[in-house]
Amino acid sequence: MHPSLQIILWEMNAIKSAETTALEVKNIPDATQNVRIDGHVNTLASLLLSQLANSDRQEEAEPVKETQNMPRDAGSLTVDKENAAMISWLLNRALNLDKRTETDCMSVEENNMACKIRRFIIINGNQRWISASSEQEYAEKLAALFQSPDPEADSGKHNFKSYAENWFELYSKPNIASVTGSTYRRQLTRYLIPAFGNKNIEDITTDDIQRMFNGMSGAKTTKDKARVVLNMILDAAVDDGYLIRNPAKSKRISISGRPSKCTECYSVEQMNYIYRHIDQVRNTTDRMYIALQSLHPLRLEEVLGLQWQDIDFEQQALHICRAVTHPDRNRPEIKEPKTAASKRTIGLSSAALAYLTDRGKPTDFVLGGAKPLSYMQVRQMCARVQADMGFDEKITPIRFRTTVLTDIYANTRDIKLAQAAAGHTTAAMTLKHYVKNRDSVIRSASVIDQAYALNS
C-alpha cells in the first residue's frame, strides 16, 4: 500500500476511535477544488472527489471499486459525503506535510499545549499513544510503527509504557481533578516510564520496583506518590489477566527518604505585625488578599474562588462555593471545592471587613474581577505584599491557614469548631496536619505540678 494511503487510513482510524483526542478538522477543500496528489493515489483521489460530487444525488453511499490504475492492496472503501471530504483533505495533508500550517489540523490537546501532538491508535489490537512535536514527526512515527515488526504480538506480552499511557488517558485522567491528574502524569513521566518503559508488564518484578525506589532521591512522600500510581497500573494489569499478582504490593518493598517539611505557623508576634501593616500595602487587590488570607482558615484556592456574591456583608459571613487552582502552574481553572465538607460558610472577620472595597459585579471574582488570578499573578502579589509591609519572611498562603486553625483550637479547645472552619471531613485531619502546639514543652512540668497540687 502507498505510504501516504497508509497514513490516511490510520488517521481515519484515529479520528473515529479516539474520543478524547478527536481531530478538529478545518479547511477541508471543496469538491470542486484540485487536490495536489501523485503516483498511484491519483486514481483513488479522483474517485473520492467524484463520489463526493455525486453524493447529493445518491440515497446511499456506494463503495469505491478497484480499477486497473489503483494499487492492488488499496481494497475498497465505503465513501459518503463526509468521509470523502475528510479523506481527500487527509490525502492532501499527508502528501504536503512540510507545507502544512499548524492550524490546518489540531487535536484538543494541541489547542491547550501549543505544538504538542498526542493521539491514540490501535495496531494489531494493541493500543498505542503517539506523541510528537509536529505533524511531520507524528507521520514518521506512525509509519515506523506500521512497518516495524511488533515484538508484543510475537511474545503475547504488553509494553508497560503503552499500557500505562492507555490506563492514564482512559481510566484515570477523565475521572480525577486536574491537579491530581498533573500529579499522576508527573509520576509517570519522571519515574515510572523511565524505569519500566522498555519492559513488558508481565516481566516487572518486585526487585525491579525496589531498584527504582532505591534510585530515587528526595522526600519519602514523593516515592509514596509514585508507588500509588504504579499500584493502580499494576492492579489494572491483574484485572486484565496479564499478572497473577501485583508485585508492587510485596511486603519486601521498603521505601525510605527524607521526611517532608512540616508547615510552620507564623508566630503571634508576626501575625500582629501583619495586621498592623495591612494599610501599608499599596495595591487595593493586594490589601483585600492579605486581609482575607491572613484572618481566615481558607485554602488559597478558596480565597481565589471568592466572588462578591459569596460575601454576606450584613451577616458577616463567607460562603465557600468554588475554588480556583492552577494545574499547569499558570492558567487558572475554576472548579468545585476540594471535598463536600469544603463547601461551607464561615464567619467574616470584622478586621477584614474594612478592606473589602471596590466591589464589582456579583459574579466578579474578589481578586481579579472578570477572571481569576493566574499562578504567576498570585506569586507576584505575595512578593508585593511582603515588600510593602517590610515583612521579614515570605508571604506563604498555606502558613496562614495553619496559623489560624492553630489559634482557633488554642483559644477554644474545640476541635470540632476547628474542623468545621477548615472544611475537613474528619477531626483527625485537622489535628494531624494543621493544629500546632504554641506552648513550650517546658510548660508541661508546671501543668503536672498543678494537676497533682505539688506546689500547695
Per-residue confidence band for 149, with pLDDT thresholds at 50, 70 and 90? low
Provide mean pLDDT across the span 319-337.
91
Task: Write out the residue limits of the CATH 1.10.150.130 domain(s) in the chain.
Answer: 160-249
How many residues are recorded in the chain?
A: 456
User: Looking at residue 52, what is its pLDDT?
Assistant: 47
pLDDT at 73 over 50: no
User: Looking at residue 58, what is its pLDDT?
Assistant: 47
**If you search the block for the grid coordinates 484485572, which residue do you land on?**
239
Taking the C-alpha atoms of residue 244 and residue 252, their distance in angstroms, rounded to an integer, is 18
Q: How many CA atoms lie within 13 A of 353 on its CB side?
A: 12
Task: Write out the residue limits of the CATH 1.10.443.10 domain(s) in the chain.
Answer: 268-412
Per-residue confidence band for 27, with pLDDT thresholds at 50, 70 and 90? very low
Which class is 268-412 in CATH? Answer: mainly alpha
pLDDT at 35 over 80: no
Q: Which of 2-11, 135-144, 381-390 has the lowest mean pLDDT?
A: 2-11
Angular region, 379: left φ>0, alpha ψ -120 to 50, beta rest: alpha
Q: Of the candidates 177, 169, 186, which has an alpha carbon nearest to the alpha carbon of residue 108?
A: 169
User: Looking at residue 249, what is its pLDDT?
Assistant: 94
Phi and psi torsions of 130, nearest 5°: -110, 125
Q: Please, are residues 31 and 53 in contact by the beta-carbon 8 Å criterion?
A: yes
What does the DSSP assignment read for 299-343?
Answer: -HHHHHH-BGGGEETTTTEEEE--EEE-TTSSS-EEE--SSGGGS
**Residue 274: is it exposed, middle or buried by C-beta count within 10 angstroms (0-12/13-18/19+)?**
buried
Per-residue confidence band for 99, with pLDDT thresholds at 50, 70 and 90? very low
pLDDT at 74 over 80: no
- At the topology level, CATH places domain 160-249 in DNA polymerase; domain 1 (1.10.150)
Taking the C-alpha atoms of residue 395 and residue 217, their distance in angstroms, rounded to an integer, is 28
Q: What is the pTM of this model?
A: 0.59
pLDDT tens, residue by residue, 217-262: 888 999 999 999 999 999 999 999 999 999 999 999 999 888 877 8
Taking the C-alpha atoms of residue 364 and residue 359, their distance in angstroms, rounded to an integer, is 9
- Rounded to a whole number of angstroms, the CA Rg of the chain reads 30
**Residue 367: is it exposed, middle or buried by C-beta count within 10 angstroms (0-12/13-18/19+)?**
buried
Q: Of the candidates 349, 352, 350, 321, which has an alpha carbon nearest to the alpha carbon of residue 334?
A: 321
Cell numbers at 65, concatenated: 471499486
pLDDT at 65 over 80: no
The overall average pLDDT reported for the chain is 78
Query: Dihedral sign, CA of 390, 393, 396, 401?
Result: negative
**If you search the block for the grid coordinates 508585593, which residue do you land on?**
384
Q: Please, are residues 297 and 404 in contact by the beta-carbon 8 Å criterion?
A: yes
278 DSSP assignment: G
**Residue 292: is it exposed, middle or buried by C-beta count within 10 angstroms (0-12/13-18/19+)?**
buried
